[in-house]
Structure 1
Amino acid sequence: MPATETIEPRRSVKHFDPAHQLSEEEIARLIALAKLAPSSFNMQNYRFVLVRDPELRKKIRAVAWDQSQVTDASLLIILCADLNAHLKNPQRYWAHAPQEVQDILVPALTPFYDGKPLLIRDEAMRSTGFAGMTLMLAARDMGYDSCPMIGFDAEAVSKLIRLPEGHALSFILAIGKQTKPVWPRGERLSDSEVVIRDRFTS
C-alpha cells in the first residue's frame, strides 16, 4: 500500500469493538515495525507496555477520564522510555557497525547526554513519538485504527504499571477495530502559519 494511502485515512478513533482481538502474530508484527523507528544513537530507549489484563485496564480507564477506548481497544500500549539508556552498555547499540564507526559513536554517546536531564527527557519524548507514529501507521496498514492519548493522570498510571525509577511515561496508544465513524477532520492551519522559510521574522 502506498504511504499516502496509510497516512491520509489515519484518524484518532474513539470507539473500538471490545470483542475483537489481535492475534499474537499481529501484535508481534506491530512491535517489530515499531522497533524500526529511529532513535538517537540507535539507543532504542522506547519501552512498550502491552496492557492485557482486563482489570488493570479498568483501573487505567478510571484515571483516564473514563475513556472507553482504554478498555475496548484490542490492544493498549503505554509508551515509555528508559532515561538511562545512554549508560547501559552503549557499545551494543553499534555492535553491528564497522569498527571505525563504533570508535566514533560509542565514546560519544554517554558524554553527549551526561548531566543534561532536559535533553535526556526530550530524547525520550522524541523516541516514543517516532515509535508511536510508526505503530499508528503500521496498524492502519494492517486494517486497524488507533488513538494516541494524553488524557490521563500520568502519576496514577505510572503507579498502576509500576513504572521503574529512571523511566518516563510518554503517552497511551489504543489500537483496534473502529465501530463508529469519526468526526470530520478538523481544518488544517494554513501553510503561511506553519511553514517558515529559512528563519522566523522578528
Structure 2
Amino acid sequence: MNKNTDKLDFFQIIQERRSVRIFDQNGVFNHQIVQKCLEASILSPNSSNMQLWEFYRIPESSNLKVELSNLCMGQKAATTARELVVVVTRRDLWKSRAKSNEAYIRECYKDADPKKLQRALSYYTKLVPKLYKRFPFWSLGKKGIAWFVGLKRPMVRQVSDTDVRISVHKSAALAAMTFMYAMKAEGYDTCPMEGFDSIRVKKLLKLPSGAEINMIIGCGIGLPEGIYGDRFRVPIEEVILER
C-alpha cells in the first residue's frame, strides 16, 4: 500500500481512477498487489463462463520489460511503469474451457434430476461448439441460421466468427477493468494501452497463433504530471438515454 492507505469507497475509486501516463520510479511498489488484483479480476463476468483469457505479468525486474515498453511505441505509460500486465484472449482454448465447465456442472448437478443435468450440459456440449468451431463457410452458415430462426422468434444475431471474437475481447476487457479498479482500491494507478505492435508482442511473449492481445496495462504510483488534464466526458444526456 502506498500513500493512499485508507480503503476507498467504490464510487470514490471510480472518481479517482485516471489513466496515468507517468509513474514514480523511486517510490515503493508492492508487486504482490498486482497478483492480488489479478486474482480478483478473474472473478469478473465473462461470456458463458468460458474464461478465455490470460494475464502476463512483466515486472520491472524482467529482462522483457524494456523491449515490451519499446513495443508499446515507447509510451511513458510503459517505459515508466513498475509492472506491465498484458491481457491476452485465448479463443483457441474453448474446447478445454468448455470441458472444465462440463466437469463443474456434473459436480453441481450430481444429485439433481438427470434431465436437468442433461439440459445444463447440452449448453457446453452442443451450443458452445456450434459457436466456437471454425471451418470454411461455417461463419456464414451460422449467420444464415440465425436469420432464418429470427424470422419466427427472437434470436441471437451475433454468431459469426467476428462476433465471437468480439465477445471474447469484451470478456477480457471486463476483467481488465476490474483489475484497474482493484489496483486503485489498493492505492496504485494504471494506464490501459492499445498502442503497441501486437505481432511483435506475441513473438516476445511466445504466444500461440490463436492468442490475441487485448490491451497492455501499465502499473505504478502515478505522478501528478502523468495526468494530462482535467477529466473530460461528453454531456450525460448524450450517452444515458431512456426510451
The answer on 1:143 being equivalent to 2:208 is no
Q: Can you give the 5+ residue segments of structure 1 that lack an aligned partner in the other structure? A: none
Aligned pairs (5 A) from 1:109-148: 109-115=128-134, 116-148=160-192
Shift of 1:106: 2.1
Instruction: Give the alignment's Cα RMSD to 1 decimal.
Output: 2.0
- Count residues with an aligned counterpart: 197
**In 2, are the aligned partners of 1:42 and 1:94 still within 8 Å (CA)?**
no
Q: Any conservation in 2 of the 1:15–1:72 contact (CA below 8 Å)?
A: yes
Give the residue type in structure 2 aligned to 1:185. D
- Structure 1 residues 85, 54: CA separation in 2 closer, same or farther (over 3 Å shift)? closer
1:127-161 C-alpha deviation (Å, 9 max, x unpaired): 11001100100000000000000111222222211
1:103 aligns with 2:121: yes
Cα drift, residue 89 of structure 1: 5.0
- Confirm whether residue 157 of structure 1 aligns to residue 191 of structure 2: no
Amino acid at match of 2:82: S
Cα deviation, 1:19-67, whole Å, max 9, x if unaligned, reads: 433243x232112101111111111111101113543221122222211
CA deviation map 1:44-100 (0-9, x unaligned): 111101113543221122222211232322221010011123222513125334333
Give the TM-score taking structure 1 as reference length.
Answer: 0.87
1:63 matches 2:81: no
Structure with the higher fraction of residues in helix conformation:
2
Structure 2 counterpart of 1:35, one-letter code = I
Corresponding position: 1:28 with 2:72: no
Tell me the percent identity: 24
8 Å CA contact 2:102–2:121 kept in 1: the answer is no
Kept in 1, the 8 Å contact 2:51–2:97? The answer is no
Query: Structure 1: how far apart are the matches of 2:40 and 2:67?
Result: 29
Distance 2:77 2:237 in 1: 35
Query: What stretches of structure 1 move > 6 A for 4+ residues in a row?
Result: none
Task: Provide the TM-score with structure 2 as the length reference.
Answer: 0.73
Give the letter aligned to residue 49 of structure 1: Y
Q: 1:193 matched to which residue of 2?
A: 238
Residue number in structure 2 paired with 1:73: 81
Q: Which deviates further from its counterpart, 188-197 or 145-154?
A: 188-197
Shift of 1:105: 2.8
Structure 2 counterpart SS, 1:84: helix
Residue 50 (structure 1) aligned with residue 57 (structure 2): yes
Aligned letter for 2:230?
A: R
**Contact residue 113 and residue 119 of structure 1 kept, 8 A:** no
- Structure 2 unaligned residues grouped into runs of 5+: 1-7, 110-116, 135-159
Distance of aligned partners of 1:3 and 1:167 in 2 relative to their CA distance in 1, 3 Å threshold:
same
